[in-house]
Amino acid sequence: MLIETPPTFELASPMYREALIQYDSVAEYVDLDDNIRQRLRHPQRSMVVSFPFRRDDYSEVDTVYGYRVQHLHTMGPTKGGIRYAPDVNIGEVAALAMFMTWKCAIIGLPFGGAKGGVRIDPTTLTRPEKQRVTRRYTSEIIDFIGPHRDIPAPDMGTDAQTMAWIMDTYSQQKGYSVPAVVTGKPPELGGSVARREATGRGVMSLLPAAMAHLGLPLRDTRVVIHGFGNVGRFAAIAGVEMGCRVIAVSDVSGGIHDPAGLDIAKATAWVDEHGTLADYPDADHITNDELFALDCEVLVPAAIQGVLTGTNAPDVKAKVILEGANNPTTSEADAVFKENGIFIVPDVLANAGGVTVSYFEWVQDLQNYFWSENEIVARLREIMGRAFDEVLALSIREGFDMRTAALVKGIRRVGAAKAVRGIYP
């Protein structure tokens, strides 16, 4: 029996520790070789960079930290987003890279997991400032990424424009155009249609099967969404399209609520014009904590990690939680939900629509052959639906909750791949 190596001090952040606790507890159920079980606890490659960043006012030059962690190179290049946040750190990025490995393996994509981060508050950046940070960060990590090595994508605080700047910086330095180096680009640059909507759409595409499994009707189902960004907004639109009543959504400014169902097109137009939901006229305004406690059937946390805690979890009345965000549920909240019989579709399955359409984008870029929106949406639904059915079947067959079942499925697949590759040299 091997002695577990603790995470090195560089990675000893609360989030990485949580990721390891989760991995260790699930790995127990997977018939893994001890060496492989131990090996998977460590990210394969990690990079920390710092660089000077000039504000628009030339007198100020800040030093900014950036990270990129590649958890596993066993099954193909690594894949995962880049987030801009004021408190992002190497441990958080390493934890999210590990989750990306399981996510890709659960869906069956030929990637290992990666994640990147720049420690900066994106809301304080002007557009030229954001462009400069992005281009400099890209040049610092340029030898670490590549279409056959590691393919970044959007995450919190970054978007299609950020990806366009990364693609341009990378291509300028290579001397030719390399669209496949990032996904989530604008369609004009080889981005896939329907990538922006993919995570939100993918989340909601699993709702009919979840409701059917619980014997609950889909029509008029009351849905509450925490977050109204790239994931929450498109989940809300998809919810309305499938005949649900989206009764509350929220953003950093707080939430809006209408028990009869919100006009999502109107709320979207309001945010596009005013930046946030604050002062939205046609609904009651509530706090994010009040939002979690609303009477509803479905709750979709679609913003940031750690929002469902031991404190607010007992107030949650939803019967189904679809995790659109990465890591929205702390382990204390997870235990409460289990106790209260809430059916959770975990992040590594529920929000995998984003990386799935990223995979489609990468394939299209490598082949220079682009698919129609209908083809992409149909393939996304098929892949997500199949993964959901397989995880549900595994959970029923082996008596696991959905999170454990999803992780068991992912870790089994990765373990099997590592076993057949063997150890070099």
Catalytic residues: 115
Pairing of strands 150-154, 298-301: unpaired
Strand order in the sheet with 245-251: 284-286, 254-257, 245-251, 222-226, 298-301, 320-322, 343-345
Q: How far is the CB of 233 from ligand GLU (least distance, A)?
A: 16
Q: How far is the CB of 113 from ligand GLU (least distance, A)?
A: 9
Using only C-alpha atoms, what is the Rg of the chain? 21
Binding characters for ligand GLU, 166-195, by CB under 6 A (x = yes)? -----------------xx-----------
Nearer of residues 151 and 283 to ligand GLU, judged by Cβ: 151
Near ligand GLU by CB under 6 A: residue from 155, 251, 323, 365: 155
Residues 6+ apart with CB under 8 A from 54: 60, 61, 132
Q: Is 68 in the site for ligand GLU (CB under 6 A)?
A: no
Q: Is 77 in the site for ligand GLU (CB under 6 A)?
A: no
Nearer of residues 79 and 136 to ligand GLU, judged by Cβ: 79
Near ligand GLU by CB under 6 A: residue from 78, 169, 326, 364: 326
Q: How far is the CB of 85 from ligand GLU (least distance, A)?
A: 13
Nearest CA among 268, 322, 264 for reference residue 297: 322
Could you tell me the sign of the dihedral formed by the alpha carbons of 182, 186, 191, 193, in that order?
Answer: positive
Near ligand GLU by CB under 6 A: residue from 88, 125, 153, 320: 153
| Under 8 Å between Cβ of 208 and 202 | no
Nearer of residues 229 and 255 to ligand GLU, judged by Cβ: 229
Single-letter code of the amino acid located at 393: A
Q: CA-CA distances (angstroms) from residue 152 to 17, 115, 163, 173?
A: 24, 7, 8, 17
What is the CB-side half-sphere exposure of residue 130 using CA atoms within 13 A?
Answer: 19
Of the candidate spans 65-73, 139-147, 337-345, 353-361, the one that interacts with ligand GLU by CB under 6 A turns out to be 353-361
Binding characters for ligand GLU, 22-61, by CB under 6 A (x = yes)? ----------------------------------------
Q: Is 354 in the site for ligand GLU (CB under 6 A)?
A: yes
Q: How far is the CB of 355 from ligand GLU (least distance, A)?
A: 4
SS3 74: coil
Cα 56 to Cα 54: distance, rounded to the nearest angstrom: 7
Cα 312 to Cα 310: distance, rounded to the nearest angstrom: 6
Q: CA-CA distances (angstroms) from residue 253 to 130, 158, 260, 275?
A: 23, 19, 22, 10
Nearer of residues 66 and 80 to ligand GLU, judged by Cβ: 80
- Chain positions 355 to 374 lying near ligand GLU, rule: CB under 6 A, are 355, 358
| Under 8 Å between Cβ of 336 and 81 | no
Q: How far is the CB of 295 from ligand GLU (least distance, A)?
A: 30
Cα 381 to Cα 286: distance, rounded to the nearest angstrom: 33
Q: How far is the CB of 79 from ligand GLU (least distance, A)?
A: 4
Q: Does 425 sit behind a cis peptide bond, omega within 30 degrees of 0 on the bond before it?
A: yes
Q: How far is the CB of 20 from ligand GLU (least distance, A)?
A: 19
CA trace torsion 98, 104, 109, 114 (10° rounding): -40
Q: How far is the CB of 203 from ligand GLU (least distance, A)?
A: 11
Of the candidate spans 14-22, 210-218, 235-243, 348-356, the one that interacts with ligand GLU by CB under 6 A turns out to be 348-356
Of the candidate spans 20-28, 70-78, 354-362, 417-425, the one that interacts with ligand GLU by CB under 6 A turns out to be 354-362
Among all residues, whose Cβ is closest to ligand GLU? 81
Total of residues contacting ligand GLU (CB under 6 A): 12
- Give the binding site for ligand GLU (CB under 6 A): 79-81, 153, 155, 183-184, 326, 351, 354-355, 358
